[in-house]
Amino acid sequence: MEFLQLLINTAALGAAYALVALGFVWVLNATSAVNFAHGDLVMAGGFVALALAGMLPLPGILLLPLVLVLMAGLGLVFSLLAFFPLKDRPPVSVFISTIALGIIVSNGASAIFGAEPRATPPLFAGGVVALGGLPGGLIVSRQAIAVMLVAALLIAVQYLLFARTQFGRRLRATAQDRDMAAAIGIPVDRMIALTFALATALAGAAGLLLSNSFFVSPTDGMNYMVKAYIAVTIGGWGSIAGAVAGAFLIALFDVMLPGLPALLPALGALPGADWLFSQTVATILLYVLLLVILVLRPQGLFGEAVQRRA
Amino acid sequence: MSLFAALAAATPTLLARQARAARAWLCHGIRLPLLVGAGLLILYPVLFGSPYHLRLLTVSGVYVLMVLGYQLIFGQAGALALTQGAFFGLGGYATAILGSRLGWGFPATFPLSISLPVALAALIAVPVLRLESHYFALATLGISQILLLVAIKWEALTGGSNGLTGVPGIVLFGAALPRGWPLLLAVWGMVALGAALAWRITRGRIGRAFHLMRENPLAAQSVGLDTGRLRLVALLLSAAYGGAAGALYTHTMRIVSTEILEFSVMVACLTMTVVGGRTSIAGAILGGVLLVHLPEWLRFLDRFYLIGYGALLLLMIVVAPFGLIGALERWRAWFVPEALPDAPPPRAPPARRPAPDIARDTAPLLAVRGIDKSFGGLRALAAVDLSVAAGEIVGLIGPNGSGKTTLVNVVTGVYRPDAGTVALAGQSIAGCTVHDIARAGIARTFQNLNLVDDMTALDSVAVARRHDGDLAAARGHAMALLDRLGIAAIAMRRCGGLAQGLKRRIEIARALALEPRLLLLDEPAAGLNPSEQRDLAARLRALAGEGLSLLVIEHNMPFLMTLAGRLVCLDHGQVIAAGTPAEIRRDAKVIEAYLGIVDDAAPAFGGAQPA
């Protein structure tokens, strides 16, 4: 039963991470630049939800549309500050400009909301629910199930948007080859600005979803950014499906490793178990895994080797 | 008596001449503002000698040292490494742990605080250095985060989040250096040493090599530069600087905590480098001093001065991507042009290396046998054979997409063939790196021109003179090569603004600077007018007359007809014809390959010029 509970937690966390990674990879594809502030935008989404909840005592699910709209607006501003002034420069310039904006966002959040971790309201209701019928009774948190469902819904809407609409086709064309898209009359700059808006809205949604169980504090951005970065690296640079798969792998790591002693009490009895099965060690191992993957497959787990044209 | 009179008469003119020379020296570039800035920096602690100001300036020096190292990997090598904060933190922790726990003295802890980060850099270099830009940034970030988490978690060693206190100060030759002036001078003495070392490394030809490498790695490799090694040296050196700076920081603070491993240190270092300038020593000093003082000036923001950091970093990257020193240099060049342009150096024709006597060899100089190369499902080259004898000029023709450039890329090691062999003077070069093949004697030019816009024509050529002792010798030889191609007049111009025909000839000069045995030219006549083409053909024939072999890709048949003794025609990756120009001209398969396809690049048999 513990295993099933952990699995549901993994699925919820993985779905939220997938939202983060998808926003990251859309901007990456559209601009070929890494958005180093993407994690800070997730954090900002959490705080926007928190501020809204302070004004409107509503459940999270009703705040979500507002968060999406506000964060999309922030994404537009973000692209005007960090991307468009540098769009003809080497990608490393955008990398640095997003580092700069990330610092501004995270310290801005700290100035406004203070450094303490805070929790956003749950999507529907808090607490746990016993899933009926099963011997022993499977007890899961309502929020975990809600996060899973809402994230799945957002991913599905996104899929339809990109796969089935003319707007989505234009976005994909822009992401694939900016010059070619411009040549066939797609307003590339507008598409890129919209990509930023969409990616930031997704980040904001993830912030709302994650900040109930995991709280939100101004320094969280780095963690989320690195998770998205790793998910995209594992999944293959620029691959959409790969980014989602990478996000779930990371969630598996995050949830299962610290959860191992609960599954196998024998492990918990080992000397130094508290130390070994901690979140910190899980994160260290995740980084080590990333380095190993980069060494063995510099093109990512699922990526294809790209050959350089001379 | 008359001698004395002559001396007396000459002295004022001698003095006047010296004064003029001094003035000319001072007015060159941005020397004057830099000297004023240096004077202000020295005046600062003298005028504001409070312990508080001395401490700020000491900390500035520590950061300048870290930035000097970061400039090597980020500025010179052009790799966005995010490890400099980790090297800094590791050096700091080494000093703190060895000093406060084991009681070791400065002469032992300082070298160790430098070697540990260097050892870490060497450890990560093998897997990390070959990664492309974004993966490289992520991998280096991951390593930094691991170090931070370990420092938090390994409380027994590092004191965890509480850190370690009681770090001893610097004790040298039995004398303790107290805070204030002595520590300030010690730190800035290290800065001076570090700056001198960085200056020695990056001035001259190596500096140009770094410049070419960060702008265009492939071009750098093609002139025989081992870019992997250059990057490794830059990373190891940056680690040494970072470790030294971390050690001095800990000696200044006398405590250490996980803060020095946090990402904010890396951001501070990056910001200082971007604000000051990525490659200049003055930029490191300006960035370090300015940004250490910024929080003091941004006091009204309280502890959120980091917002100011972020805003400044954003502003600089948008408005002045070359940093304050770079902006100063550019303003100077725009608003106050130099009274006297830099004079080109005298020409010094390189001493010819004794050419190996291949003419008597039966084997051809270049022998390509059965080369296959596919990209995904596309078979770009299929069982291609080709040979070039010593002193021979071979023309390689074929419609667009027939595999000509792919063949050049296989011969020069850019692509690894799926099957087949490539041999130079009987020795296999298959599987060799691009720079090894360049050093072995195969030089090339590029169809799409791989020059660096803000490098002079002279330095673009000089950078390829790997064997010359110093930059002056390399420039002298480069000057002679530019002269050989008839473009000595543009030696001091920057490549960015030059016409295409001139750029092509600079590339040829750069390739010749390698003193190759075989020269591969990819469309050398493109962008040249008819008289320039005739001129170039005559110069190339002269080179072949001296024993150089040439393989020339060209669509321009009139140009090639007068140049090549033998033509090879590729179509769909296969050799469809080979022979003298006259034979090729009549070959039915060649005519079909060109005329069967609607292609604006069909050779101009009638003599018309292709665009």
Locate the domains of chain B by residue range: 1-47, 50-262, 366-441+516-595
In angstroms, rounded to a whole number, what is the distance separating the alpha carbons of residues B145 and B137? 12
In angstroms, rounded to a whole number, what is the distance separating the alpha carbons of residues B573 and B342? 48
Q: Which CATH class is domain B366-441+516-595?
A: alpha beta
In angstroms, rounded to a whole number, what is the distance separating the alpha carbons of residues B357 and B345? 33
CA gyration radius for chain A?
Answer: 20
3 state SS of A1: coil
- Inter-chain contact A86–B135, Cβ cutoff 8 Å? no
Query: Stretch B499-517: mean pLDDT, rounded?
Result: 92
Angle between helices B281-297 and B181-202 (to 10 degrees): 140
For residues A135 and B179, the model is more confident at B179
A256 touches chain B (CB under 8 A): no
Query: Stretch A153-178: mean pLDDT, rounded?
Result: 86
In angstroms, rounded to a whole number, what is the distance separating the alpha carbons of residues B122 and B127? 10
Cβ B560 vs Cβ B567: under 8 Å: yes
A:126-185 residues touching chain B, CB 8 A cutoff: none
Query: Stretch B462-474: mean pLDDT, rounded?
Result: 87
Helix intervals (H) in A79-187? 91-113, 142-164, 166-176, 178-183
Alpha-carbon distances of A193 from A65, A90, A170, A228, rounded to whole Å: 20, 19, 13, 20
The neighbouring-strand residues paired with B442 are: B518
In angstroms, rounded to a whole number, what is the distance separating the alpha carbons of residues B328 and B275? 12
* Residue B520 φ then ψ, to 5°: -105, 120
Question: Count of CB atoms within 10 A of residue B24's CB?
Answer: 12
Q: How many CA atoms lie within 13 A of A140 on its CB side?
A: 23
Contacts of A129 (CB under 8 A, 6+ apart): A139, A140, A141, A142, A145
* Strands B442-444 and B518-522, bridge-based pairing: parallel
Query: Stretch B527-539: mean pLDDT, rounded?
Result: 89
Cβ A97 vs Cβ B318: under 8 Å: yes
For residue B252, pLDDT beyond 80 = yes
For residue B594, pLDDT beyond 80 = no
Buried b (16+ CB within 10 A) or exposed e, A276-301: bbeeebbbbebbebbbebbeeebebb
* Strands B518-522 and B378-388, bridge-based pairing: unpaired
pLDDT value at position B602? 47
Place of tokens 């797609």: A186
* Residue B574 φ then ψ, to 5°: -120, 150
- Inter-chain contact B321–A89, Cβ cutoff 8 Å? yes
Indicate the pLDDT class of residue B303, thresholds 50, 70 and 90.
low
* Residue B477 φ then ψ, to 5°: -65, -40
- Of B429-438, B519-528, B600-609, least confident by mean pLDDT is B600-609
Measure in Å the smallest separation between the Cα of A296 and chain B Cα atoms: 9
In angstroms, rounded to a whole number, what is the distance separating the alpha carbons of residues A200 and B300? 31
Q: Give which of B314, B344, B329 is closest to B457, Cα–Cα.
A: B344
Measure in Å the smallest separation between the Cα of B270 and chain A Cα atoms: 9
Indicate the pLDDT class of residue B611, thresholds 50, 70 and 90.
very low
Contacts of A228 in chain B (CB under 8 A): none
* Residue B494 φ then ψ, to 5°: -80, 145
Beta strand ranges found along B144-254 (DSSP E): 171-172, 175-176
For residue A241, pLDDT beyond 70 = yes
* Strands B549-553 and B393-397, bridge-based pairing: parallel
User: Which of A184-188, B241-245, B441-445, B471-475 is predicted most confidently?
Assistant: B241-245
- Inter-chain contact B139–A290, Cβ cutoff 8 Å? yes
Cβ B441 vs Cβ B178: under 8 Å: no
pLDDT value at position B607? 42
Buried b (16+ CB within 10 A) or exposed e, A48-62: bbbbbbeeeeeebee
Cβ B497 vs Cβ B452: under 8 Å: no
For residue B244, pLDDT beyond 70 = yes
For residue A308, pLDDT beyond 70 = no
> What is the interface pTM, i.e. ipTM, of the complex?
0.88
A:273-292 residues touching chain B, CB 8 A cutoff: 275, 278, 280-281, 283-284, 287-288, 290-291
Cβ B532 vs Cβ B501: under 8 Å: yes
Beta strand ranges found along B418-565 (DSSP E): 419-424, 427-428, 442-444, 518-522, 549-553
A7 touches chain B (CB under 8 A): no
- Inter-chain contact B311–A96, Cβ cutoff 8 Å? no
* Residue A308 φ then ψ, to 5°: -80, 140
Indicate the pLDDT class of residue B610, thresholds 50, 70 and 90.
very low
The neighbouring-strand residues paired with A138 are: A131
pLDDT value at position B38? 93
Q: Which of B131, B317, B375 sits opposite A93 (nearest CB)?
A: B317
pLDDT value at position B340? 66
Q: Please write the tens of the pLDDT for every residue from A182-199.
A: 899 899 999 999 999 999
3 state SS of B164: strand
For residues B121 and A139, the model is more confident at B121
Inter-chain contacts counted by CB atoms under 8 A, chains A and B = 115
* Strands A128-131 and B549-553, bridge-based pairing: unpaired
Q: Give which of A91, A98, A93, A96 is closest to A31, Cα–Cα.
A: A91
Contacts of A303 (CB under 8 A, 6+ apart): A235, A236, A237, A238, A239, A242, A297
For residue A256, pLDDT beyond 90 = no
Contacts of B534 (CB under 8 A, 6+ apart): B562
User: Please, what sign has the CA dihedral across residues A235, A240, A245, A247?
Assistant: positive
For residue B497, pLDDT beyond 60 = yes
For residue B2, pLDDT beyond 70 = no
The whole-chain average pLDDT of chain B stands at 87
In angstroms, rounded to a whole number, what is the distance separating the alpha carbons of residues B132 and B78? 11
Cβ B386 vs Cβ B549: under 8 Å: no
B415 touches chain A (CB under 8 A): yes
* Residue B608 φ then ψ, to 5°: -70, 150
For residues B65 and B329, the model is more confident at B65
Smallest CA–CA distance from A285 into chain B, residue:
B146
For residue B591, pLDDT beyond 90 = no
The neighbouring-strand residues paired with B551 are: B394, B520
B600 touches chain A (CB under 8 A): no
In angstroms, rounded to a whole number, what is the distance separating the alpha carbons of residues A106 and B227? 37
For residues B72 and B13, the model is more confident at B72
In angstroms, rounded to a whole number, what is the distance separating the alpha carbons of residues B502 and B528? 8
- Inter-chain contact A97–B318, Cβ cutoff 8 Å? yes
pLDDT value at position B313? 87
Contacts of B119 (CB under 8 A, 6+ apart): none
Angle between helices A221-235 and A279-296 (to 10 degrees): 30
For residue B604, pLDDT beyond 60 = no
Q: Give which of A129, A123, A117 is closest to A8, Cα–Cα.
A: A129
Query: Stretch B225-237: mean pLDDT, rounded?
Result: 94
Contacts of A298 in chain B (CB under 8 A): 130-132, 135
In angstroms, rounded to a whole number, what is the distance separating the alpha carbons of residues A231 and A244? 7
- Inter-chain contact B375–A102, Cβ cutoff 8 Å? no
* Residue B30 φ then ψ, to 5°: -115, 35
For residues B296 and B84, the model is more confident at B84
One-letter amino acid of B260: I
Q: Which of A85, A96, A226 sits opposite B145 (nearest CB)?
A: A226
In angstroms, rounded to a whole number, what is the distance separating the alpha carbons of residues B84 and A220? 22
For residue B359, pLDDT beyond 70 = no
For residue B438, pLDDT beyond 60 = yes
pLDDT value at position B609? 42
Q: What share of chain B in percent tops pLDDT 70?
A: 94
One-letter amino acid of A254: D
The conformation of residue B425, written as its DSSP 8-state character, comes to T
Which of B126, B274, B318 best tests the A interface by mutation, with the highest count of A CBs <10 A?
A: B318
In angstroms, rounded to a whole number, what is the distance separating the alpha carbons of residues A123 and A62? 8
In angstroms, rounded to a whole number, what is the distance separating the alpha carbons of residues B500 and B565? 27
Cβ A258 vs Cβ A282: under 8 Å: yes
Burial class (CB in 10 A: 0-12, 13-18, 19+), A137: exposed
In angstroms, rounded to a whole number, what is the distance separating the alpha carbons of residues A96 and A99? 5
Cβ A40 vs Cβ A82: under 8 Å: no
For residue B562, pLDDT beyond 70 = yes
Query: Stretch B79-103: mean pLDDT, rounded?
Result: 93
Cβ A240 vs Cβ A250: under 8 Å: no
Cβ B206 vs Cβ B279: under 8 Å: no
Domain ranges of chain A: 2-221
pLDDT value at position A253? 87
Query: Stretch A52-78: mean pLDDT, rounded?
Result: 93
Smallest CA–CA distance from A295 into chain B, residue:
B127
Indicate the pLDDT class of residue B414, thresholds 50, 70 and 90.
very high
Cβ A203 vs Cβ A71: under 8 Å: yes
The conformation of residue B248, written as its DSSP 8-state character, comes to H
Measure in Å the smallest separation between the Cα of B153 and chain A Cα atoms: 8
Indicate the pLDDT class of residue A134, thresholds 50, 70 and 90.
low
pLDDT value at position A299? 66
- Inter-chain contact A233–B310, Cβ cutoff 8 Å? no
Q: How many CA atoms lie within 13 A of A276 on its CB side?
A: 9
Query: Stretch A100-105: mean pLDDT, rounded?
Result: 93
- Of A244-258, A291-305, B500-514, least confident by mean pLDDT is A291-305
